[in-house]
Amino acid sequence: MLKGTAASEGIGIGKVLVIEEHSLEYTPKTVVDTESELSRFEQAVEKFCENTTEQAEAIRKSTGDKEAQILEGHIQIIKDPYLMSEIEKLISGGMCAESALEQMCDLFITMFSAADDELTKQRAADVKDIKTAILSILLGIQELKISDAPKGTVLVADELTPSMTAGIVKENIVGIVTQTGGKTSHSAILARALEIPAVLSVENAVEILKNGQEIVVDGSDGIVITNPDSNQIKEYTAKSEAFIQERRELEKYRGQKTVSKSGEEYELFCNIGKPEDAVKAMEADGEGVGLFRTEFLFMDRSSIPTEDEQFEAYKKAALILKGKSLIIRTLDIGGDKDLPYLGLEKEENPFMGFRAIRYCLKNSELFKAQIRAILRASAFGDVKIMFPLVTTVDEVRAGKKIVEEAKLELKAENIAYDENIKVGVMMETSSAAVIADLLAKEADFFSIGTNDLTGYTMACDRGNSDVSYLYSALQPSVLRLIKNIIKCGNENNIPVGMCGEAAANPQMIPLLISFGLTEFSVSAPSVLKVRKNISKWTKSDADAVAEKVMALSTEKEIDEFLKSMI
């Protein structure tokens, strides 16, 4: 049995097809005819864009627009004026196209890989995919056609790239196993969109698993069983049927209110990264958007988006939601999430450096332009503002001051906005959790970001395998901070939501009900499952579970107890 990350739920039983990576080795050389080399590079980029457009259309037909946009984003990245001009400069200086492409792509890969959040790190995988594809074209390498895979195939690869996914015939692929990737990687996103069971980060999967070998892929528990016997086949076939039946039953929660067994109502929102994602939120039956990550509007481009560009994006999301809540997080960039055009200095410890609200308050012109754009969009829906990475009351007050300044400017210009727009705080640092009582007097709402809150509280990098065992929202210290945040919010009569991954964890739900959380914000595919899980609990039952949990001393004890209760 092999273990990995449970990335896409379900059970797949089939035969292995290993997608082997071709060697992209080449001999770097100095080019004399630079014009000809530039032309060769431009033709390769043009061919890449043609291929990618075809692949995006294939994905759009099989899974939807959101997934197709992942690939279309690759075209935007390679056509970025800064990236293209730098590659062309290197070629004009005598470097061969392969070396120039690799040097600049590796620069971007290193930059994105340094980020502390998975979504930004995923940009590194995108650039790597682009580099591989264009190098293959330059070197004349023909890629394996995944579309030819027969029924009952389990794809095994180092990484499932978006370009590979474009060739998947959903009916033929029963499972996916990769050596890399996490729950928020594009491999996971695309596997979930295709509803194919997937286990990622299986060490040495490409070497261990052989073509034609029968395996079971358990995407719910994150395990791969090699050469299963008849009893195991029978067991997992039954599990697969039960999983499919459970999915059908989830549909009865569509269109229903999110309510506990004892009658308490909750708001169930979605997290999005682009205005177009609001469509998925609505299709998933989300009751609004609890987190719009605006930094993605600033990525894959060579300059800061203008106020008007941002306004159009926020307005689009607000209109799609048709009056449902839209919480827009202000720019969470800087230090660890570098953008070349911002000219940020390299930091020794970017996780605790110049980023998010800290960066915005020091760059008030950029910050005010975003605030003005959000305020203008508030005339078109129920829009709220949220400040990220807050650690002090001063930061909230300074941010609110800029909001008030922007309101006065818009009023003088006769531009409409919601004069009573709510301004909230993303509670994702230990400092914020400890002074939640003070912040609750300044904020109109809280939203708990459990990903960073866990990392900062436990002083561990979830990407570091040596300390990843510490990274759990079920740690007693993290649970106490979460409970305190919710308590302080409730005592000051402000709504408290959660937009971190823990909001969708069935183990966390009884605790959050007991603590008094009022809003859950999850990924679109998780909406119906979370609604169902909330409906299972009465407040008194949740209180009994929470009382027991808060008396336990270790994460292991808490995890085991909650698993037994679920």
Question: What is the set of active-site residues?
Answer: 186, 499
HSE-CB at 266 with a 13 A cutoff on CA atoms is 34
Q: Which residues contact 566 (CB under 8 A, 6 or more apart)?
A: 506, 507
Crossing angle (nearest 10°) for helices 186-194 and 65-78: 150
Burial class (CB in 10 A: 0-12, 13-18, 19+), 60: middle
Structure-token pair, residue 210? 């052989």
Burial class (CB in 10 A: 0-12, 13-18, 19+), 27: exposed
Runs of H (alpha helix) within 322-355: none
Q: Which of 40, 55, 6 is nearest to 165 (CA)?
A: 55
Whole-number Å distance between alpha carbons of 38 and 295 = 33
Question: Tell me, what amino acid is at 72?
Answer: E
Report the greatest alpha carbon distance in the chain.
78
Whole-number Å distance between alpha carbons of 194 and 219 = 13
Question: Tell me, what amino acid is at 221?
Answer: D
Q: Which residues contact 146 (CB under 8 A, 6 or more apart)?
A: 19, 155, 164, 167, 168
Identify whether the C-beta of residue 396 lies closer than 8 Å to the C-beta of residue 387: yes
**DSSP symbol at 387:** E
Residue with tokens 């697969």: 240
Stretch (H or E) spanning 241? helix 230-250
Q: How many residues are given for the chain?
A: 566
Identify whether the C-beta of residue 394 lies closer than 8 Å to the C-beta of residue 434: no
> CA of 5: how far to CAs of 194, 237, 242, in Å?
18, 21, 21
Question: Tell me, what amino acid is at 109?
Answer: I
**DSSP symbol at 30:** B
